[in-house]
Amino acid sequence: MTGTLIVGGTVVDVDGSRDADVRVDAFGRICEVAPNLTPAAGETVADATGRLVIPGGVDAHTHLHLPVGTVRVSDDFDTGTRAAAMGGTTTIIAYVTAYRGEDPLHAALTWKGWAEPSVIDWGLHMTFTEPVSEATIARCIEAGMTSFKLYMAYPDLLQVDDRTIAEIMMATARHGGLVTLHCENGGAIEALRAQALAAGRRDVPEHSATRPAVLEGEATHRATAIAESVGAAVYIVHMSSAPALAEVRRAQERGVRVLAETCPQYLHLDVSALARPDGANFVCTPPLRDPWHREELWHGMSRGWIHTVATDHCPFWAADRAAGFAGDEAAADFTAIPGGLPGIETRMGLIWDGVAAGRITVEDWVRLCSEAPARTFGLWGTKGALRPGFDADVVVWDPQRTQSLDADALHMAVDHSPYAGRTCTGWAERVWSRGRLVADRGRFVGEPGWGRYLERGPALLEPVG
Ligand code: MN
């Protein structure tokens, strides 16, 4: 591999926005960022005039290959990471789940096998669904899985109690890791779901009605209070609502180290989608909310109260979604629909939309989508900025490039799009993963297996210098 010189663009990262060229060495690392660099012999020159040059996106919340009940997430690590690359994301972190009775390290090996075909670099978070020993936490961290997911919902399969949350937070903090939490009050939600079914309310919109925002706010408060009491940091995944954001703000104001993630679906869609004929395709958890929550979330991003944007990418074929309604129609109900939306390819474009609309700045966009997830999940020093020594995960972003968001215009393995009929103006033009071109003006040019497993370090919670 020869080196590459990306010339004429506007570089945007933690060091600000400036006109500069970016030199990538033959080992796939950034070696120089400065104006008016002269091409060296044998160097490939890429023109970025009139475009932005940014660190590749880091999507810290993805589900690929995941078995769910009798079906499976439709994207595997090959198709899912291709789609990510086409949209300007060069690093993903996927969630491993260690189910009750399962050895977490063994579960991680299974996921590592699935992830082999990845076309971009990848890391793993570990999900615990029961109390674990401190030794298990230490072994995960030694294996490069420095962040853990716990659920406050889904009591049948995933939820852990408050004591377990507190104990895992304590042990994780001692070993330099970070706990991420799914914040919804699982017990109250189960009661609401049972009540709806008993009353004969079975339609798709009940998915949202039985998971109200107030129960996301309650769990978010509990998460921040537990973190505060044990002296740990906490990361709130897929925050969807204003009550949850208010709890995050309250905790931040009293000095709790709480970091919040939101997702494009909560910024661009609303609960009315669930009432459509294809409403089952919009079932995700937390559910889509009333439209006013979106305004609060965009505002929270612009003010720095929300730290990252990830996707919670979790697509299913429409037929697999409908499986819950197949057969005995009279017995079918909203609780049988596998939940999760496609989004790994469209995140950078949908958040850029907020830049174009004046809701956030271009620097906010890079921070939310690349820099902050890299710092938070132990990838700083290699991912999330265009500094010498960092991996050459680089995107030339064309603010004028248009991209249809119809399913057949995208690369995710899924037959429907939550954003069908919409077009993004502003899209990835060329994308490099460690110096290797992987996406070139709408064509995928990477290769399965190029992506490497990322052994992640401790969370970096302080501002970077
Ligand atoms: Mn998720």
The span from the CA of 69 to the CA of 339, in Å, is 11
Predicted local confidence at residue 322, as pLDDT: 77
- CA geometry: angle 388, 391, 393, nearest 5 deg: 115
In the reported structure, the alpha carbon of residue 80 is separated from the centroid of ligand 1 by a whole-number distance in angstroms of 15
Q: Separation of 200 CA from ligand 1 center, angstroms? A: 29
**Pairwise CA distance, residues 352 & 370, whole Å:** 13
Q: How far is the CA of 283 from the centre of ligand 1 (A)?
A: 13
* Ligand 1 center from residue 40 Cα (angstroms): 45
| Cα of 50 from ligand 1 centre, angstroms | 36
Q: Which residues are within 5 Å of ligand 1 (an ion), measured at CB?
A: 312
| Cα(325) to centroid(ligand 1), Å | 23
Residue 204 CA to ligand 1 center (angstroms) comes to: 20
Residue type, 275: A
The confidence score (pLDDT) of residue 327 equals 46
Opening angle at CA 99, ends 98 and 105, nearest 5: 25
Examine the pLDDT at 11 and tell me if it is beyond 50.
Answer: yes
For ligand 1, the distance from its centroid to the CA atom of residue 132, given in whole angstroms, is 21
Residue 3 CA, ligand 1 centroid: distance in Å: 37
230 vs 232: CA distance, rounded Å = 6
Q: Which amino acid is at 255?
A: G
Output the CA 113–ligand 1 centroid distance in Å: 20
Cα(5)–Cα(44) distance, rounded to whole angstroms? 6
Element (DSSP H or E) covering residue 162: helix 162-174
Query: Under CATH, to which class is 57-369 assigned?
Result: alpha beta
| pLDDT at residue 302 is higher than 70 | yes
Instruction: Kindly report, residue by residue over 314-363, the tens digit of the pLDDT.
Output: 999 998 887 755 545 555 789 989 999 999 999 999 999 999 999 999 99
Evaluate the omega torsion of the peptide bond into residue 286 and state whether it is cis, within 30 degrees of 0: yes
C-alpha distances out from residue 43 to 26, 75, 125, 389, Å: 9, 36, 37, 18
Ligand 1 centre from 249 Cα, in Å?
22
pLDDT of residue 321: 84
Cα 314 to ligand 1 centre (Å): 7
Contact call for residues 145 and 108 (beta carbons, < 8 A)? yes
- Enumerate the domain spans of the chain: 57-369
Quickly count: other Cβ atoms within 10 Å of residue 447's Cβ.
12
CA of 42 from ligand 1 middle (Å) equals 44
Tell me the CA–centroid distance for residue 94 and ligand 1, in Å. 9
Structure tokens at 245: 């954001």
pLDDT band at 461 (very low <50, low <70, confident <90, very high): confident
Residues composing the chain = 465
Interval between CA 341 and ligand 1 midpoint (Å): 10
What confidence score (pLDDT) does residue 161 get? 98
79-92 confidence digits (pLDDT tens): 999 999 999 999 99
Nearest to 119 by CA among 377, 449, 380: 449
In the structure, what pLDDT confidence band is assigned to residue 2 with cuts at 50, 70 and 90? confident
Q: Which two tokens stand for residue 367?
A: 């921070």
Ligand 1 centroid distance, CA of 61 (Å): 6
What is the whole-number distance in angstroms between the Cα of residue 194 and the centre of ligand 1? 23
For residue 312, how far is its CA from the centre of ligand 1 (angstroms)? 5
What pLDDT is recorded for position 423?
Answer: 98
Tens-digit pLDDT profile for residues 224-241: 999 999 999 999 999 999
Ligand 1: centre distance to CA 36 (Å)? 43
372-424 residue pLDDT tens: 999 999 999 999 999 999 999 999 999 999 999 999 999 999 999 999 999 99
Model confidence at 32: pLDDT above 90: yes
Task: Give distance in angstroms: CA of 153 to centre of ligand 1.
Answer: 12
Q: How far is the CA of 285 from the centre of ligand 1 (A)?
A: 8
Asked whether residue 60 carries a pLDDT value surpassing 90, the answer given is: yes
Q: How far is the CA of 320 from the centre of ligand 1 (A)?
A: 18
CA 279 to CA 204: how far, in whole Å? Answer: 6
Whole-number mean pLDDT of the chain? 96
CA of 330 to the centre of ligand 1 (A): 30
Helix (H) or strand (E) holding 381: none
CA angle 114, 117, 120 (to 5 degrees): 115
Question: Distance, CA 462 to ligand 1 centroid (Å)?
Answer: 25
Burial class (CB in 10 A: 0-12, 13-18, 19+), 78: buried
Residue-wise DSSP of 386-409: --TTSB--EEEEEEEEEEE-SGGG
Say how many Å lie between the CA of residue 72 and the centre of ligand 1: 14
CA of 149 to the centre of ligand 1 (A): 9
Q: Ligand 1 mean position to 313 CA, how many Å? A: 7
For residue 310, how far is its CA from the centre of ligand 1 (angstroms)? 10
Spacing, Cα 6 to ligand 1 middle (Å): 35
- Residue range 113-133, pLDDT digits in tens: 999 999 999 999 999 999 999
pLDDT tens-digit series, residues 162-221: 999 999 999 999 999 999 999 999 999 999 999 999 999 999 999 999 999 999 999 999
Q: Give the Cα separation of 112 and 96 in Å (integer).
A: 9
- Separation of CA 157 and ligand 1 centre (Å): 14
What pLDDT, on the 0 to 100 scale, is given for residue 261? Answer: 98
- Check: pTM over 0.75? Answer yes or no: yes
CA-to-CA distance for 413 and 255, rounded, in angstroms?
Answer: 42
Q: Over 90: is that where the pLDDT of 281 sits?
A: yes
Q: Cα 387 to chain center, whole Å? A: 23
SS3 assignment, position 36: coil
3-state secondary structure of 142: helix
Which residues in 344-367 are b (16+ Cβ under 10 Å) and which e? bbbbbbbbbbbbeeebbebebbbb
